[in-house]
Chain A
């Protein structure tokens, strides 16, 4: 009983409740026959939202005005360059991963450079850098789709013990993020900056260093996600990151992280990512038309956010 009360007090529980609800509604439609297939599909596709969502969560936690809009472009560039570097060759996988990380780090540095040195607000800085990054991806190979090396294609689409490999990757990254946030000084610093940047600075928090690291972290995760997604779906496409801009922000909010910054949580990202995939599957399964589907998705998201934020204020 005590456990239930404590669980209900968590801001992230509502994302899981919602995800479980739509999951149940979907499998009931088929009398339970779709349980395994649907669960595996949900874990697979949620994994990509989780990876970008974690990076976005740290950025948003830095406080009002902090958001990274360059995630889709970073994903596209990383996927495009990495696959071209590897050129379907299994021996070059390490080089491909190195290129991915280098791109993430470079874009993160560029983003924070614009924010800090040129004093451009993050929303404008990351938006404008995303144009440059996206154009670079277009220029780099003109939308030519190169297949991933066989090992990577196999790895990213396969499962281990029934759990999709990409979900395992997302789990490892989530554990790292959770340790950083809950157990390390870095997480305290991020939250402190988000609660009050001035107070954090006066308290001796290395504000610039932490913000810099956070933007780099977010860009690296976006690059990794682009790399995984292009391996998973058989090649990079120029528009492949597009849907992850809103998704990355939505999973942060639905997961119970404070929009105004200062409070973050990792489990909520999982609940929200699963929920966002499952709600579309559920409405497709019930044969809702596109208009109804978008309307219901919006209403359900609002309901979850209201439920989550109420618990927080009590």
Chain B
């Protein structure tokens, strides 16, 4: 699986290397605001795995990754200014704030630098955005529940980090889905901060006061395993918990599936989206016409491809795909 991915990437690289001569002298930098969880670690690994060979083969001159220590917008703004001075041709950006970096991003654009933001996007109009339709992701969860639990029932919602845009969007999608499907009712809502231990704590706190007939748990990723543990600790039957592509979640799901035929689905964003942003930046430097706003597809795991996904996910990591140049071209074409 992995080999095939590498080979196909190489094949694409070889096939298109003549057409890409234009970017062989270009240098691309990754400006990243945070590295302290497994998703971000996988994101940086994917970046190294794809951009390393790309630089060796002369598709680009360099693709260096920089991460700030404190996850602060001011610190990242200073970092972007350094990258401008160092003369990079493009900056791929996972931003600490959607708005606070706009000044620094504008400076970069004015200096003729291509800025491609992804995951944590920026609103500055001159930057490119590879955004996730988080609301659609939330809605997809309810759509799945509709099929899996046709009679409906009571749901527990685990949200992310309060006050963050992503949390609001996913929750909005979930609530829209529930409004369209009145057979479901959200009877409790807690914030799990996308972290397994926080989710476990929050769910354990609210469970004793929830009715005993919870049929499903809608989540935002990183919190499914913690929810499962809280249900087990309270001695309650495990409801259908939507998972978020973390290896511990998938491993738990596999255990339950083998033991009792447990069914659910898992959805999140692949950390390899950093490589999609890399290829988009490369395409822009290559002179291709690219719309300012692109949408990245979700990575969804279902009952039948659970084993394959679990096998390719490192212990403690996140299910991941690296994107190829072809994928980037497809995403660009779709947005045209």
Contact = CB atoms under 8 A, between A and B. Distances in A.
Interface of A: 26-27, 29-30, 33-38, 41-42, 44-45, 131, 134, 138, 141-146, 157, 229, 233-235, 237-240, 242-243, 277-278, 280-281, 284-285, 287, 290-291, 293-294
Interface in B195-229: 195-198, 200-202, 204-209, 225-226, 229
Given A37-B234, A290-B163, A238 B208 contact: no
B233 A157 contact: yes
B208 A138 contact: no
Interface stretch (B54-62, B100-108, B186-194): B186-194
A145 B247 contact: yes
A233 B200 contact: yes
Contacts of A235: 196, 248, 316
A134 B35 CA distance: 11
Nearest to A159: B233
Contact of A229 (B35, B197, B316): B197
Interface stretch (B5-13, B36-44, B84-92): B36-44
A144 B314 contact: yes
B195 A239 contact: yes
B295 interface: no
Nearest to B200: A233
Contacts of B37: 143, 237-239
A284 B36 contact: no
Given A138-B41, A238-B36, A145 B315 contact: yes
Given A45-B201, A142-B45, A239-B36, 7 more contacts: A27-B209, A41-B204, A233-B196, A233-B226, A237-B196, A239-B37, A285-B206
B35 A138 contact: yes
A143 B38 contact: yes
Nearest to A230: B197
A238 B41 CA distance: 10
Residue from the set A38, A131, A239 with the largest chain B CB neighbour count within 10 Å: A239
B205 A146 contact: no
B293 to A, nearest CB: 28
Interface residues of B, number: 40
Nearest to A38: B208
B317 interface: yes
A145 B316 contact: yes
B49 to A, nearest CB: 13
A237 B204 CA distance: 19
* Residue of A33, A143, A291 with highest tally of chain B CB at under 10 A: A143
B315 A29 contact: no
Contacts of A41: 204-205, 207-208, 233-234
Contacts of B36: 134, 138, 238-239
A30 B38 contact: no
A233 B229 contact: yes
Contacts of B206: 281, 284-285
Contacts of A243: 193, 198
A131 B66 CA distance: 17
A33 B314 CA distance: 42
B204 A45 contact: yes
A293 B248 CA distance: 30
A29 B209 contact: yes
11 contacts: A29-B209, A35-B208, A144-B315, A146-B316, A157-B229, A229-B197, A233-B226, A234-B225, A237-B197, A287-B188, A287-B189
A103 to B, nearest CB: 18
Contact of B69 (A131, A277, A285): A131
Contacts of B38: 142-145, 237-238
Contacts of B198: 243
B44 to A, nearest CB: 9
Nearest to A135: B69
B162 A294 contact: yes
B209 A240 contact: no
A209 to B, nearest CB: 34
A26 B225 CA distance: 26
A284 B316 contact: no
B189 A277 contact: no
Nearest to B34: A239
Contacts of B193: 243
A242 B314 CA distance: 24
A130 B207 CA distance: 34
Given A234-B248, A284-B188, A290-B191, A240 B197 contact: yes
Nearest to B42: A143
Interface string B299-335: 0000000000000001111000000000000000000
Given A143-B37, A143-B316, A284-B202, A38 B209 contact: yes
A18 to B, nearest CB: 16
